[in-house]
Amino acid sequence: MRRQRKVKILATLGPASNNQDTIEQLARAGADLFRINMSHASHEVLNETMANIRSVEQKVKRPIGVLVDLQGPKLRVGKFADGAVELNTGDIITFDQSNTPGSKERVELPHPEIFEAIKPNHTLLLDDGKLELIAKKCTATAIECEVVHGGKLSDRKGVSLPNTLLGVGALTDKDRADLVAGLDAGADWVALSFVQRPEDIIDVRKTVQGRAGVLAKIEKPQAIERLEEIIKLSDAIMIARGDLGVEMPLETVPGLQKRMIRMARQQGKPVVVATQMLESMINSPVPTRAEVSDVATAVFEGADAVMLSAESAAGDYPVEAVNTMNKVAVAVENDVLYQGIIRRQEITPDATAADAISAATRQVAETLDLAAIVCYTSSGSTGIRVSRERPEKPIIALSPKDSTVRRLSLIWGLHCVRTEDAVNLDDVVDRACSIAYREGFARPGDRVAITAGVPLGTPGATNMLRIAFVGQDGMGSS
């Protein structure tokens, strides 16, 4: 299952797709890894879905990554006596901590942390930004607000606070339980929702302890303010444009997307673009032209992965959505302008031997028109470094660890293969050439670039670049 593109596709599983047959169809259509959303999945569903994915992995003979997405703190208003109220511009409504059913004048806000942090003139956005309120008077027990943009407000609708830095961390008690369950089930990545500060990443790392990659979802203005620190502490980021577009002016989100992709790439961290990419395909077998353009823009910008949410989790056309995203990505990467755009985004390598080798490998592979780049990577760091260079040539990442090849399924351009560690330098060359030949990247007479660390099997010690010929038998010779 060699992909004809380098950007990866992350598909969310849900009621429409979390059976084994559909997961296999999604994988064959182009999904490289799957997201399990813990907002909707019990631990039983998590384990069942994980087992289905691992069964499909055996069938398609290709590593498949799994991302467990933690729900994060959900802020909601309480209930109303009549189920809903109509708020008009200029109305005054008070939020308090009494669980008495609400009215047009007051309603419960069962989150003490909001009362501790909010200040006068802070904005409250309700029901995904459909209603906007401004805090006028704030005490430890009540927040009096004026309605700026009114509308219908019903029971348990969500609350967003774009100006308010809450004192609580991004992990709730439910998230901690889900995190442990995800790690026990063998998750390759865990996604942390509503990150506000670098300390949120440090907190989750204490539990993860290297068992999975930690992905920070950027969906709060507070995270934008400390973006560089958050990226540095994370293994990857996700540009979660849905909530980000609620809490920040919509017109700023495209520019932020470009900025985040550049910053993540500069730091050598994978970046996922998510939310509403093919939203209309929840109910339609074809996307809108604007959605196709949106996916194409993310691919042109060099994102590592593009994500489907409800389109593949709860929509009527999950396989068609993945197939459409795959076709768009392939078309973009074959566009005559693609390589030039990617090359203009070239990243300056860090002053380390591993980064210098990775940069040199790209240049050598393109100058000599080699068939592929083969990198040995125990921990995955070498594969990520080579990918960061965005070479024109295919990259084959070899590792003896299932956990590594699955985790690398998120990374741009990496065709991941699990293989035993090479025993000596001759074996390094033979194994690289035979796998490049077997996987359809090289033919007899072609040359490949090989990177590895000597001594062999030492994580993070990339210090060797070798060029080898693929022989008639698929074996290599220097």
pLDDT in tens, 268-291: 999 999 999 999 999 999 999 999
pLDDT level of residue 228 (50, 70, 90 thresholds): very high
* 42 φ, ψ (degrees, to nearest 5): -80, 170
272, β-bridge pairs: 238, 305
Cα distance between residue 443 and residue 169, in whole Å:
53
Q: What percent of the chain has pLDDT over 90?
A: 89
Task: Tell me the catalytic residues.
Answer: 35, 76, 217, 275
CATH architecture of the domain with range 8-72+170-332: Alpha-Beta Barrel (3.20)
Pairwise CA distance, residues 192 & 205, whole Å: 11
Using 50, 70 and 90 to split pLDDT, how confident is the model at 33? very high
* Structural domain spans, the chain: 8-72+170-332, 84-160, 353-477
Q: What average pLDDT does this structure show over 253-276?
A: 95
Tens digit of each residue's pLDDT (9 = 90 or more) over 459-469 = 767 889 999 99
- 8 A C-beta contact, residue 412 and residue 302: yes
Question: 353-477 domain in CATH 3.40.1380.20?
Answer: yes
Q: What is the average per-residue pLDDT within 23-50?
A: 97
What is residue 475's predicted lDDT score, i.e. its pLDDT? 73
Q: Is the pLDDT of residue 346 over 80?
A: no
Does 1 have pLDDT greater than 80?
no
Q: Are 114 and 138 in contact (CB under 8 A)?
A: no
pTM: 0.94
- Structure confidence at residue 460 (pLDDT): 67
The mean pLDDT of 168-193, rounded to a whole number, is 96
84-160 topology per CATH: M1 Pyruvate Kinase; Domain 3 (2.40.33)
472 — pLDDT class (breaks 50, 70, 90): confident
Mean pLDDT across the chain: 95
Residue 335 vs residues 76, 316, 386, 393: alpha-carbon distances, Å: 46, 30, 23, 15
